[in-house]
Amino acid sequence: MLSKKEIRSTVEVLSENRTKIINIKTKLKKGRELIKLLRKYGFKYIGRGCSRRVYISKTENIVVKVDICDDADFQNKNEVETWLNATKKLKKFLVPILAYAEDYSWLIMPYVITLDYDQVNELRFELSRNEIYGSDIDKRNTGIYKGTYRVLDYGIEDW
């Protein structure tokens, strides 16, 4: 698990010149400015979804999910609100959000290894056994965190 110091240093890097980062949302150009900032600080592109790109830190075990659509911040926003409002029962199945921008342009999570198909089925079974149902529980959206199977991408889920 990341120490508070490691999380704070990463947030400081992302929040450096905070006014610029917050204002990026109005002139985002598909997130290019924020992405340049991440690359400058050694983050590497590892994947994308329908409205976000994901970057991993080369020095810490974290990822940053960057909103790349001017009008589609719903995924980061939904993920943050889900995490903040989740019941204790639901939280044990979600990869935690460590930090996020006030405008939801980025969020930070621990990096996790994705599950194989059998593990995904085990997670689905555990979720249903706990009366938790998701529509997007598959290999690319799940992983192992602290030895347990979890959902790592819950930006479009409606729990």
| Structure-block tokens of residue 64 | 């940053």
In a domain, 139, yes or no: no
Q: How confident is the model at residue 159 (pLDDT cuts 50, 70, 90)?
A: low
**Residues with Cβ within 8 Å of residue 141, at least 6 apart in sequence:** 151, 152, 153, 154
Residue 121 lies in a domain: no
Indicate whether 30 belongs to any domain.
Answer: yes
pLDDT tens, 52-103?
Answer: 889 999 888 999 999 887 655 688 999 999 999 999 999 999 999 999 988 8
Please report whether residue 72 resides in a domain. yes
Strands 99-100, 142-145: pairing kind = unpaired
Between residues 56 and 35, the one the model is more confident about: 56
Of the pLDDT bands very low, low, confident and very high (cuts 50, 70, 90), residue 3 is low
Domain span including residue 105: 4-111
CATH of the domain at 84: 3.30.200.20
Residue 76 lies inside a defined structural domain of this protein: yes
pLDDT tens-digit readout, 105-128: 889 999 999 999 999 999 999 999
- When pLDDT is cut at 50, 70 and 90, the band that residue 6 belongs to is low
The structure's pTM equals 0.78
Is 137 within a domain?
no
Which three-class secondary structure state does DSSP give residue 11? helix
Number of separate domains in the chain: 1
Q: How confident is the model at residue 31 (pLDDT cuts 50, 70, 90)?
A: low
Q: Write down the pLDDT at residue 74.
A: 81
| Residue 125 located in a structural domain | no
Distance of alpha carbon 16 from alpha carbon 24, whole angstroms: 13
